[in-house]
Structure 1
Amino acid sequence: MNMSRVWVTIIGGAAMAAFGFAQGGFDGPGRYELTNLKSGKLLDLDRNDQTTVIQFSPRGAENQRWDIERAESGFYYIRNAMNGKALEITRNSNSSPLVCGRFDGNPNQQWRIQPGKDGNALIVSRAGKTIDIPDGSSRDGLRVQIYDLNGDSNQRFIVRRVARSFEGDRDRDRERRFRREPDANDRDPHPDRFGRFWDNREQMWKLAGDGACFYQQPDFRGKALCTGSGSDIADVSREFNETISSVKLFGRAQAVVVFERPDFRGARYRINRDERDLTRLRPGWTDHLGDRMGSIRVN
């Protein structure tokens, strides 16, 4: 059984920027949908490879929602709500594909939101290219690119808030979504900005806040995969290439739902408490899941 933000510089005078943002829909850090004015489609992260940025008809899914969070010097991060990966450019040339990469704060992940015509928003990289829908096509699944800024409708977006801002506590949403295999040597006793920390007294990884950690060894030992309540792990094998032998709930998390296959398909099994040794549950779930753990939800 094997078991990821966007920078934006405000240009022009404060009054003009505020007007443009209010009209475009951006009014500070929070979770947003980004709809292209020309195609009417949403900016979407491909759920298959979780890297390719496409456009798609609205589905109300987390991969179509983006967390815009403040960074220094007026820039912002734009990170996908499904996995926390950040919008970034791979090359600063016309028609280069827009992708989502693991967030590390590099300049290619820095953006500005700039007022466009009729109060819509342009999303412009630090290097100067803007997000662009090729030829303004409305085809679902079309890859999104960057291009020289011209202000046409295929480069303008309606920015619609779908969740409140965590101003003053911008780490809270990130710690809900954070999940990765920690480096065994990176044992910081203080919660990082994502909520993960090493408890030296108990010699185990823990999560600050509501969520769960999945451990490589029984009794909550070894490497750990941690994720917040309300977060989904659509494909366990992509996130954690280790056997999961125990699970621990933190905060107000009430249960873990394990699915047989990726993308929350197939049979499911609910774990309602801390389990020091998942092998003890195998007789109970083998008839439903076999010996697999395809995807996970934490409630």
Structure 2
Amino acid sequence: MLALIAGTGALPPALVARLDTPPIICAMRGFEPAVPVDINFRLEHLGSFLAKLKDRGVTRICMAGAVRRPPVDPAAIDAATAPLVPRIQAALTHGDDGALRVVIGIMEEMGFTILPAQDVAPDLLPCAGVPTKVGPASSHTSDAFAGEECVLEMGLADTGQACVIREGAVVVREDSHGTDAMLNKLALPYDTKPMASDPLDWAFDVAVDLAKEVKAWFAKGPQRPADAPGGILFKGPKPNQDRRADLPLIGPRTAMLAAEAGLDGIVIEAGGVLVLDLPIVRRILDAQGMFLWVRERGAI
């Protein structure tokens, strides 16, 4: 039996749609996913929550979707979680990746196998190459190296997984609000309606609504103007990231916002970034004369 610990965003619905047997869907209180939830829990009850999963025959756990580290109420910690408190407290003082490693370690010690999202949906992890009609120019190679170096520095500081590079220089870095919020800052004036940037606003992001959003975006007729500033969105995993959870993700909304920011294309690290609805992403970028480069780390 599989349990899906679902956060916000489009990834949990995409995984559920690909599973032949419905998983037990769980969510941390305060981070409601866009899929029906079977079990809500709070971090202060982690021990009893995991015990409940074992009682229900769960042997595998997949974690997918955006979740921020919640505040912990010491008075709410239950007896089953009390022995884990020192490790949970230590985890919360580390960055997101460090906290995930601790939580994964606790789950494995209790006998659970952690199933990465890319194992549930291998099609979300595209092969290296350029699937779009347009490919990167030679100048984008230096931008890609600069983006790779920037994301490496950000990853070591656990501050983000994406940046915008233009002519070899960093224009903006991702912060805790995510990639789409970063791109919203660069949106050109012809963007008539900012898109949701807060993960808590993404509850509508299921397949039907996403298709409607893309259709409405095309109907609006946005085009990259002749004087678009150019540059790339670069996104990749943190160095030494535990890839069983929290792999970075792009999707149609990312592609639309990249177009509205006047970028030339998107570069993602091969094997390290999930792509939601690749055919739609490709269609958006092709319509704007932009590229997607799924690039091996260090590739020229």
Q: Under a length normalisation based on structure 1, what TM-score does the superposition of the two structures give?
A: 0.27
TM-score by length of 2: 0.27
User: Which structure dedicates a bigger proportion of its chain to strand?
Assistant: 1
RCO greater where, 1 or 2, for CA within 8 Å and sep 6 or more? 2
